[in-house]
Structure 1
Amino acid sequence: MSNPTTMNDAIQAIEELQTKIAFQEHTIEALNEALTAQQYQIEKLQVQMRHVMEKVKGFEPSNIAKLSDEAPPPHY
């Protein structure tokens, strides 16, 4: 015959393990969702960065100074 205290202790230990497993499953799911969202954000930022880099590469330096950078004519 088994000892009732030992059986109750075993049942309590099993219930605690089940609770921990449920908590860990929830935590893993939450972390997975956060990771997925971050990966999407990174990919979006990479596309935006490529777009900005293409625009910057398209700028050509001008040999003509801006009007605001020009000195006033000597007769002023």
Structure 2
Amino acid sequence: MEQHLEHRLEKLETKLMAAEDLLDELNRTVWRQQQALELQREQLRQLAQQVKTIQPGNPLRPEDEVPPHW
């Protein structure tokens, strides 16, 4: 009986160690993804800023444009 309990305890400890390793790896993965997401957000912000500087502040309305044949 004692050997059976010792074997079960050993098995549980092994599963716990595997679960802790998996949790650590998942935490590292989430952290890397968060870093990548923050970088993408910054790049998107910079691109949006560049687009604003390229485009005129008030785009022309179709009725304000001169037809191409004029």
Shorter chain as denominator, the TM-score bin is: 0.7 to 0.9
Q: Which amino acid aligns with 2:48?
A: M
Find the counterpart in structure 2 of residue 60 from structure 1.
55
Q: What is the CA RMSD across the aligned residues, in angstroms?
A: 1.6
- TM-score norm. by structure 1 comes to 0.71
- TM-score norm. by structure 2 comes to 0.77
- 1:14 lines up with 2:9 in the alignment: yes
After the TM superposition, list the runs of 4 or more consecutive aligned residues in structure 1 that deviate by more than 2 angstroms. Answer: none
Shift of 1:60: 2.7
Runs of 5+ unmatched residues, structure 2: 61-70
Structure with the greater alpha carbon radius of gyration: 1
Aligned length: 60
Shift of 1:46: 0.3
- 1:46 lines up with 2:41 in the alignment: yes
- 1:23 lines up with 2:18 in the alignment: yes
Runs of 5+ unmatched residues, structure 1: 1-5, 64-76
Give the SS at the match of 2:55. Answer: coil
